[in-house]
Structure 1
Amino acid sequence: MPEIHRVAILDDYQQAAHRYADWSALPDGARLTVFTEHLGGPAEVVAALRPFDVVVAMRERTAFPAEVLDALPNLRLLVTTGQSNAAIDLDAAARGGIVVSGTRAAGLTPTAELTWGLIHALARSIPAEDSGLRGGAWQQTVGRDLHGARLGVIGLGNVGSRVAQVGLAFGMDVVAWSAHLDVQHAQALGVAPVGKRELLATSDVVTLHLQLSPRTAGLIGPDELALMRPDALLVNTSRARLVDEPALRAALEAGRLGGAALDVHWTEPLPAASAWRDVPRTVLTPHLGYVSAGTYETFYRDALDDVLAHAAGTPIRVITR
């Protein structure tokens, strides 16, 4: 059976790993190191992780391309939270004899709930009003009504469907589009299927719920932003690369878009000098969509089970291409 010497848990920003799993269950002699800060680029990742034979990664916060995996000769098990991870080169892992294990998928409800938090934050200027009130101001903005407004949902999968149902409960006119939209599913929810151009041109709020792929990367670019109403709101809790960030920033700075709420960013963690920190009419959150107690409990407990199964010589939830 494989011996485990050193285990690393990465990107535990909230120092949550020990709260949601009992890591004292690791085999005798195994040393655990928890990294609470992002390691950085490939060189920094390799320098930090070279001694470890087991690494537990949180989603796609740290990338493991071939150049990194090839430079970690001691690594034998790479655990990713979730059932897939686009930031791991599975072919390179296989070549290096590295087992990649996943966990059960997180609940989809937290992302849908955050989406609605962001929509309300934009529509009622909650962050600005909170900040203003703390500084002595009173009622600086006039909120927007959601009842009767049009919600455009791009991607009507599990998360998008939940978001759409809440929109309907608020009395919104909900429409949806995706390249392979299930029209019958949309109609069963009470959602009207429309074309992409119509959705963008007529929606008061546009929210994105698609997987990132070569086909969806840059889905919302300059042309799409130009179609949107100048008072429209854009919300992205899915994947940052669905949106052309420079084009979105330009539209906001020029006043061609009503506002944007972003939980995902091209560079994460968001750099201290990021231009986004000063863009008007925005609500920014640090990729919180899946960050909830229930999700972390599933992720960290399953990750520990993966490590223990590997130590017993019976790897579980192995991810292959």
Structure 2
Amino acid sequence: MTTKLAILDDYQNLALSYADWDKARARDVAITVFNQPLGTIDQAAAALAPFDAIVLMRERQPMPGTLIARLPNLKFMVLTGARAPSLDLAACTARGIPVSNTSTGPNQSATSELAWALLMDAARHVTRADRLVRAGGWHDGLDMGLILAGKRLGVIGLGKLGAKMAHYARAFDMEVVAWSANLTAERARDGGARLVSKDELLSTSDIVSIHLVLSDRTRGLIGRAELARMKKGAVLVNSSRGPIVDEAALVDALRSRHLGAAGLDVYDIEPLPARHALTTLDNVVLSPHLGYVAEATFRAFYQDSVENLLAWLDGQPVRVINPEAIGTR
């Protein structure tokens, strides 16, 4: 019997070229690739109802329990990366649907390097200047750039990614301070930073960069009051998750020029809707959630996806993040 597999959200049409999917086809797997977002829950349910297995690209397609319940044929899922809060794992387990994850390749470097690129661009207005030159201008109306040497970087969340940002900042002769709810002075020193309070970090840093996992505790962590505490003219970089920052308050802070600039890779709604308020501002650099979008990372994602699929077909699934689902269907 043919197994129907859906590969979701392959926006750049790379999934089939980054792994040997012929191994799956040889096992009578029919592969359908979706290159665009599926839309509403109703639209996603209609599109995915025929499929036995699904490969998710990170959190691009939300998979709440309400959607999973409407996929009668679904028996197996692959999640690229380690985890995704947009996937209702409990709903999968209740249905007896094992979920296998993948390695991330050099994802930590990919994300932190992208965050640093956003930081540099926001500080020196590179993208804005590029648009100006292409339009026939030169220095017309450009703000002055921010020299990083001697400035303070405030890192919110000094895990692996935040520590890489601290390392980059020290190479640029910046002072680095850090805060998170459970960060200790010793761990801050080990990560190349000095522990300060959240208020001190926000009020004294020239650039603030966010590196936290989205959770109930971090959702809305940087709201209107926190943005108001930041130095006038400061730069905010967010390459973690959009809802950590109050997006409407951020738009207001950028529009009023209380914040000098921002570099954003993540948003409340992704893809970012056309004509969103952020797209109207000239002091924000926007990238389409590119933190993990690198060839080495995608090769790891899809090669592991093929291995996961074949192991499931053999009745011995690997890298299963909800092992209690195995054998309950």
Query: Which TM-score band (shorter chain)?
Result: over 0.9
230, 236, 239: which is aligned to 1:237?
A: 239
Once the two structures are TM-superposed, the CA of residue 297 in structure 1 deviates from its matched residue by: 0.8
The one-letter code matched in structure 2 to 1:310 is W
- Aligned in 2, Cα 1:54/1:190: closer, same or farther, shift over 3 Å? closer
In 2, Cα distance between equivalents of 1:169 and 1:138: 30
Within 1, Cα distance between the matches of 2:228 and 2:275?
Answer: 28
1:265 to 267, 286, 300: 267
Q: Residues 6 and 220 of structure 1: is their aligned pair in 2 closer, same or farther, counting only changes over 3 Å?
A: same
Q: Do 2:158 and 2:191's aligned partners in 1 also have CA atoms closer than 8 Å?
A: no
- Looking at structure 1, the residues matched to 79 and 243 of structure 2 have their Cα atoms a distance apart, in angstroms, of 21
Report percent identity of matched pairs. Answer: 46
Letter in 2 for 1:16: L
| C-alpha deviation, 1:260, in angstroms | 1.0
Checking the alignment, whether the CA contact within 8 Å between 2:7 and 2:32 is kept in structure 1 is yes
Which residue does the alignment assign to 1:50? 49
Match of 1:160 among 138, 159, 162: 162
Match of 1:113 in 2: 113
> In structure 2, what is the Cα distance between the partners aligned to 1:40 and 1:181?
39
Is the CA contact 1:151–1:203 (under 8 Å) kept in the aligned structure 2? yes
- TM-score normalised by structure 1 residue count: 0.97
2:298 aligns to what SS in structure 1?
helix
Match of 1:97 in 2: 96
Q: Residues of 2 paired with 1:273 and 1:147: CA distance?
A: 36
Question: Distance in 2 between the 1:127 and 1:214 partners?
Answer: 34
Aligned length: 319
* SS of residue in 2 equivalent to 1:258: strand
| CA contact 2:128–2:282 (8 Å) conserved in 1 | no
DSSP-derived class of the 2:176 partner: strand
User: Which string of whole-angstrom CA distances, capped at 9 and with x for unpartnered residues, describes residues 163-201 of structure 1?
Assistant: 100001100011000001132132134411111000000
Mark the CA change 1:173 to 1:24 in structure 2 (over 3 Å): closer, same or farther.
same
Which sections of structure 2, spanning at least 5 residues, go unmatched? 325-329
**Partner of 2:199: helix, strand, or coil?**
helix
Q: Does 1:135 align with 2:141?
A: no
Matches of residues 1-321 of structure 1 in structure 2 within 5 Å? 5-26=3-24, 27-107=26-106, 108-140=108-140, 141=142, 142-320=144-322
Query: Aligned to 2:216, what secondary structure does the other structure show?
Result: coil
> For structure 1, which runs of at least 5 residues remain unmatched after alignment?
none
In structure 2, how many angstroms separate the alpha carbons of the residues matched to 1:150 and 1:28? 56
Which deviates more from structure 2 when the two are superposed, residues 34-43 or residues 20-29?
20-29
Which has the higher mean CA deviation after the structures are superposed, 27-36 or 120-129? 27-36
In structure 2, the residue corresponding to 1:175 is in which secondary structure? strand
Partners of 1:297 and 1:103 in 2: CA distance? 11
Query: In structure 2, what is the Cα distance between the partners aligned to 1:28 and 1:295?
Result: 26
**Distance (whole Å) between structure 2 residues aligned to residue 199 and residue 19 of structure 1:** 45
Aligned residues of 1:155 and 1:178 also touching (Cα < 8 A): yes
Given that residues 111 and 292 in structure 2 are in contact (C-alpha distance below 8 angstroms), is that contact kept between their aligned partners in structure 1? yes
How much does 1:28 deviate?
3.2
CA contact (8 A) 1:56 1:303 kept: yes
What letter is aligned with 2:3?
Answer: H
The two structures, once aligned, show a CA RMSD in angstroms of 1.3
Return the offset for 1:261: 1.0
In structure 1, what is the Cα distance between the partners aligned to 2:148 and 2:308?
Answer: 45
Q: Distance in 2 between matches of 1:99 and 1:82?
A: 15
Deviates more, 1:20-29 or 1:143-152: 20-29
Counterpart CA distance in 2 for 1:272 and 1:139 is 28
Q: Which runs of 4+ in 1 moved over 4 A?
A: none
Deviation at 1:104, TM superposition (A): 1.3
Structure 2: distance between partners of 1:28 and 1:207: 46
Measured in 2, the distance between the counterparts of 1:278 and 1:227 equals 24
The equivalent residue for 2:327 is: none
SS of aligned partner of 1:276: helix
Q: Secondary structure of 1:153's partner?
A: strand
Report the CA distance between 1:306 and its aligned residue: 0.6
